[in-house]
Every structure is written in C-alpha cells, then in structure tokens.
Structure 1
C-alpha cells in the first residue's frame, strides 16, 4: 500500500507493505553424516573389544607357561627356609614309606603308642630302622617342632655313666645339641636314668636322661636312599 502527500513546497511519499521476518536457521547434520558418525563409533567400540580379547588371550597363555616355574620356585624356597623348621608342620615325601616323615636325607616314623626304651628300639628294628640319631641342631629343631611331651631317641649311657652315645656307638655332641635345663642329671627316681629322650614341654625343652623302663612314644629313623642329596620338604599332614 502506498500513501502520497502533496503540498505546495514538497512531496512526501510513504510506501507501506507486508514483510516477513527471517531468522538464521541452526545448522543441521544431514542424515548421511549422522549415519557415518554412528558407524565410526560402533567400529571403534568393536575394535576396542577385539583388542581386549587379544590381550586376555595373551595373558592366559603367559600364565599357563609361567605357572609351573613359579610353583617350582615356591617349592624350592620352602625346602630351603630354616625358619619353617620352627613351625608345627611335619615333613612328608613320596620317597619315604607311608606314614613316615622326611627331613633332609632321612625318613622318620613317630609312634602313636608308648613303650619302654628297649621295646621301642626293637620296634624300629622291625621297621628296618633305628631309634633316631640326632646329629645337628637343625634336625633337633625340626623334631622338637612337632613333638609334645617325651619321646625316646637312640642315645644311652648304660655302658659308662655320664658318657652318652648313640646306638651306633658314636658320642652325642653336647656342644651341637641342646639339653633340657639341668640335664642330664641321672636323678634317682625309679632307678637310674640311662636312656635318652627328647622333651618339648613348658620351660623344659631339649635332650633328657630318663629311666629306661618309662613308657614313652618313640621315633624311628632310616636313610632315604632314593634322595641322597639333602633337602627339607615340609607340608602339613
């Protein structure tokens, strides 16, 4: 619509019309671009999952290959750690007879019954063994670690009072082995004390002289000929 004004001095013309307001439109991602982006995301997720599967497979194979070596190392540590000798665990090995224990190159049988010294010695002989001969402090520590009370061992001073020998005739090493406090004392309780045992009692631990007629448990020992090299294998019963 147009409006005109006329005067003598000037002419004013005003033009009025309909108009439409335009606002800038927001950019829109095309459908094709959206599909492409979604495909790339799915592809990235699938690729990541595949990499994780490969890593897991490599780890499984590595563990299977290295596990036997780790077990062997652990067993080697167990067989060479002296600190384990102070535990109440006992030693067992397939190369020793059933129900026998193993320490270094020897096999040991601990009786569950009680008998006098001579009866205990004969029982060991029937088992093709002897009452135990303790030669080192390590061996004594091992035996003391799982024993309680009094247990016969193969030493005596029957031939000469005060001279303690093992059943094979060798002298008991008093400097290497530990005697219980105040022992041997040859106390005259129920006769002379001419046979030896090992004790693990409260405040009374070590070798001890005892009357040979006492009823005690006993320990038999024989060499483990299948294992000449000394080692210590410890496992729980």
Structure 2
C-alpha cells in the first residue's frame, strides 16, 4: 500500500510539474504575443514619422528653389540693365575721347596724358621713321615713365621703332632730343637669364652692329627694349 501511495504521489508530482511547465510556457508565449504587436505598432509609428519628415524637407526644398529662381530672374534683369547702362556710358566716353583726340592731336593720333602718339601701319628703317615723324610735326617716341611704356606696349602688338640710338658713340644711348638714359631715368632693356643682356650690339646681320632701339623684337613681346640694326624695317611710334 505504501508503495502504491508512493507511486500515486510521484505521478501527481510529475503531473503537477508538467502542468506548471505548460502554464509557464503558455504565459511566456502569451507575453511574447503581447510584446510583438506593441513592437510592430512602434515601428509603424516611427516609419510614418520618418516619411512625414521627408515630405516636409522636400516641401521646404521646393520653396527654397522657387525663391532662388525668382531672385535669379530679378538679379539677371537688374544686371542686364546695369550692363546696358555701363555700355552706354562707355560708348559716350569713347566718343568724347575720340573727339578730344582729333581736336588736340589730329586724325590717327592717340591721346595719353599730355602727349599724342601715332602708331604706324607701314614699316620703315629707323632713319626713315625718324624723318616721317618729323614731317608729321613730331619725333620718334621718347619714353620717360613706366606708365608711358605700358601704354605703348598695350597698343603696339609687334615690334616698333622708338627714338633711342647710339649711332654717334657706341654704348652711349641717346634719345632723338639728345637726352641720355640717365637724364630720362628709366630703361626697359630685355634681361636674359643666361647670356648677355640687351643691348648686345649683335653683328651677324649687320657688320655695323645694332645701334637703334625698338619695343620688342620679332619673337618677344613689346614690354621690353631690344637693340637692332637700324637698316631693318619695322613699324614705328611718333609722338608730339
């Protein structure tokens, strides 16, 4: 009998344990089922909030683009009016300058400062260039400042004779008004990185040497001076 009751108690205990495990498992499953729906709702709410934020950003971006486009149109119109005004003023100034140049200097001459300049279209040797300038009431140009040099260089797009020479005494460069370079105080001779600077009195083309000065040469710009054979034909600049 004791053995029978013992078995019965064991079975009851075993049954009770299984029931407790089933109850525990049911509670766990129920808890998971309860948590999962809450997690899905939270995710849906977050997704909807993110989409709403993106739509708001897109709307703001469209508004900004619209404002920029409008401002661009206004600015373009304003700039167009300003450009037209500037062009008109420049055109008037050019006409005034042209009238002044003709009145003060004569046809074909350019006014700069208190001097008038003539840039030739033909080519002559240095001696003939000097004679032509004298016929026009002036002389080959005498350069006395950096501003004058820059002005001449900006209008002379190829080599031009200037009124500088050492025909009387080799190495003693004189302007056509008999001023020396020391007296005028400026020089713009070309300086080589390697080799002799200008003037170099090169004699391979002319045995008498290079005794006349020009803005530039056949290969370099007109912002510097070169000595050259006076027999060469170049354009020239007169002044008065």
TM norm structure 1: 0.53
Report if the CA contact (8 A) 2:153-2:222 is conserved: no
Instruction: Give yes or no for the alignment of 1:176 onto 2:176.
Output: no
Unaligned runs of 5+ in 2: 1-84, 192-196
Partner of 2:213: 196
Report if the CA contact (8 A) 1:148-1:199 is conserved: no
Give the alignment of 1:189-228 within 5 angstroms: 189=204, 190-191=206-207, 192-199=209-216, 201-202=219-220, 205-222=223-240
Instruction: Give yes or no for the alignment of 1:186 onto 2:196.
Output: no
Aligned partner of residue 226 in structure 2, secondary structure = strand
Partner of 1:127: 136
Larger radius of gyration: 2
CA displacement at 1:202 relative to structure 2:
3.9
CA displacement at 1:96 relative to structure 2:
1.5
Partner of 2:81: none
After superposition, the Cα gap between the structure-2 partners of 1:137 and 1:175, relative to the gap in structure 1 and judged at 3 Å, is same
CA distance in 2, matches of 1:130, 1:202: 25
Report if the CA contact (8 A) 2:119-2:156 is conserved: no
CA distance in 2, matches of 1:204, 1:128: 25
CA distance in 1, matches of 2:198, 2:158: 16
Report if the CA contact (8 A) 1:115-1:215 is conserved: yes
Instruction: Give yes or no for the alignment of 1:137 onto 2:146.
Output: yes
Measured against aligned partners, the alpha-carbon deviations of 1:15-73 in whole angstroms (never above 9, x if no partner) come to xxxxxxxxxxxxxxxxxxxxxxxxxxxxxxxxxxxxxxxxxxxxxxxxxxxx9xxx69x
Partner of 2:101: 93
CA distance in 2, matches of 1:203, 1:197: 11
Partner of 1:159: 168
Unaligned runs of 5+ in 1: 1-66, 80-89, 223-237
Q: CA RMSD in A?
A: 2.9
CA distance in 1, matches of 2:180, 2:222: 23
TM norm structure 2: 0.52
Counting helix residues as a fraction of each chain, which structure ranks higher? Answer: 2
After superposition, the Cα gap between the structure-2 partners of 1:204 and 1:221, relative to the gap in structure 1 and judged at 3 Å, is closer
Q: Structure 1 residue runs of 4+, over 3 Å off?
A: 200-205
Report if the CA contact (8 A) 1:151-1:198 is conserved: yes
